[in-house]
Amino acid sequence: MRYAVTSAVVGALLLGAVQGGGAAASTDAETTEPVVSTHEPAATGTDPAETTTADARPRPNAFLDPLGDVRAAPVPERGPLALQIAEELDSRWLGPSNRRSIAIRDALTGESLADRHSGRPVTPASTTKLLSAAAIVSALDPATTFTTRVVTGERPGEVVLVAGGDMLLADGEGDPEAVAGHAGIGDLAAQTAAALRAGENVADGAASTASAEAGTGGPVTVSLDLSHVSGPHVMPTWSDHWVDEGWTGRIVQLGRAGDRALPYDPSPREPEQEVARVFREALAGQGLDVTGAGGSDGESVRAEVVTAPAAAVELAAVESAALRDVLALASATSDNAMFEQLARQAAVAAGRSPDQESVMAWVRETMTEDLGLDLTGMRIADASGLSDGTLLSMEVVAEVLVAAADGSHPHLQEVLAAGGLPIAGYTGTLGNGMRFHLPVHAPAVGNARAKTGTLPGVTALAGTVVTADGRLLAFAVAADDIESGSAALEAASVLDEIVAELARCGC
């Protein structure tokens, strides 16, 4: 058993609730400013050490009672809570009043505490990922890992690198404490070289020839098997701009952690070939003669894409981090390609085809059947929220969060507990210095956990927050007709203010 307290308490604790409430679980419920490290100089008379960015960041007080039962805290009254956020919700930065939507629920009971257009479908942007995450863990156990293998090929000297769903491989040795880079290409190479030299588990025929030639100095050729949940690198509904400018990577079942896309730093056009290149170099580093490794021609050599023979002998294998951690990383960093890749794998595991239409139909059906969501009049265009056309109500998004917090969807709870909801002012897309960075946001810093959503003209935020009285709330808010330019930053700040007001609420 992973947790030793009730599911409701676990959900509350892991999604940010603590007994004592307030923005920082302070001993004083009226305090709205977080505690900041002062770093007093030592009594030696020397100058204090230089304060780092991390040192200067607001820090919440230590939890006085980390196993406190948030169910004992009072549920806010609907009227006073709505009044608490009315000014922020009426901000001009959020665009037309009929294009802003909010749903606030008691996270443990699902009781509606505040609404405005909560049932109206709006563009949810990346808060769509919350539904996708719930669907993914309905088909794949959170403890699932993804295996990358090397096997013998059909031809003399050929080894085949077989994709298995891990797009976060380290170039060298894997780090068992990491998610990105948990498994390493260098480890695959070391295992492969040892197996080829020893030949202990190599069968007759071509496999034996491959081992013998590699071990005696004959050239080794690296091929790729990409048949694992195959599909296009780019969703047909994505704009080229998103990929070319690095707002999303390419959807692959074999990739390097270092090739994940960043804004204005796009991923390579063929991430799988980059894995093959690094693998060739790593094999050469093990002392093998490898075709295409080293020298100026190394970059021009392409690994042939093949299907590994049915009777292939496994030479090496490495495992990714657990799905719960991979999915949490994808959510915390809002990695579009990772979400599409994981959704494909989950849909195939559920017996569906990996094409976009089939995967999205499966997500929709899963949400309807497993969570009982009413998606009438709504549309899910992709798993990441990047495509045009997705329309969801904030009511539906809030219901998904309640399902995670109240224990009725324990697998989603595991993902969010593993860091799938960034901490306001600290981690993921809420820790970049652009969110929850103003004094007015302070009550939510270190308290709120939320998934961001950003597209041109759209800002959204959905997560959990603890009130000043210690009650855990789920919230989902979006505005999908905001102005461009600096208005987008102002609108996002207003959403942060709304969450801060919920944290202040002793209502």
318-352 residue pLDDT tens: 999 999 999 999 999 999 999 999 999 999 999 99
- Amino acid letter, 170: A
Q: What local confidence, expressed as pLDDT, does residue 324 receive?
A: 97
- More confident position, 217 or 269: 269
3 state DSSP class of 383: coil
Q: How confident is the model at residue 299 (pLDDT cuts 50, 70, 90)?
A: low
Helix ranges (H only) for 161-256 are: 185-198, 206-215, 240-244
The pLDDT value given to residue 192:
98
| Least confident among 68-82, 323-337, 356-370 | 68-82
Q: How far apart are CA 72 and CA 48, in angstroms?
A: 44
267: pLDDT confidence band, cut at 50, 70 and 90? Answer: very high
Q: Residue 259: name the closest of 280, 239, 275 by CA.
A: 275
Going by pLDDT thresholds of 50, 70 and 90, the confidence category of residue 73 is: confident
Does the pLDDT of residue 217 top 80, yes or no? no
For residue 494, pLDDT over 50 is answered with yes
Nearest to 384 by CA among 422, 334, 418: 334
> For the chain, what is the mean pLDDT?
85
Type and span of the H or E element at 476: strand 472-479
What pLDDT was estimated at residue 218? 74
Q: Residue 42: its pLDDT value, please?
A: 38
Region 484-495: what's the mean pLDDT? 92
- 380: pLDDT strictly greater than 70: yes
Q: Which residues pair with 450 in a beta bridge?
A: 463
- Domains recognised in the chain with CATH numbers: 7-43+51-141+326-504 (3.40.710.10), 147-321 (no CATH)
pLDDT band of residue 479 (cuts 50, 70, 90) is very high
Which one-letter DSSP state was computed for residue 379? B
CA distance 159 to 167: 20
Q: State the average pLDDT over residues 90-109.
A: 95
Query: Which residue type sits at 366?
Result: T
Per-residue pLDDT tens digits for 18-29: 333 333 333 333
Could you tell me the pTM of the whole model? 0.84
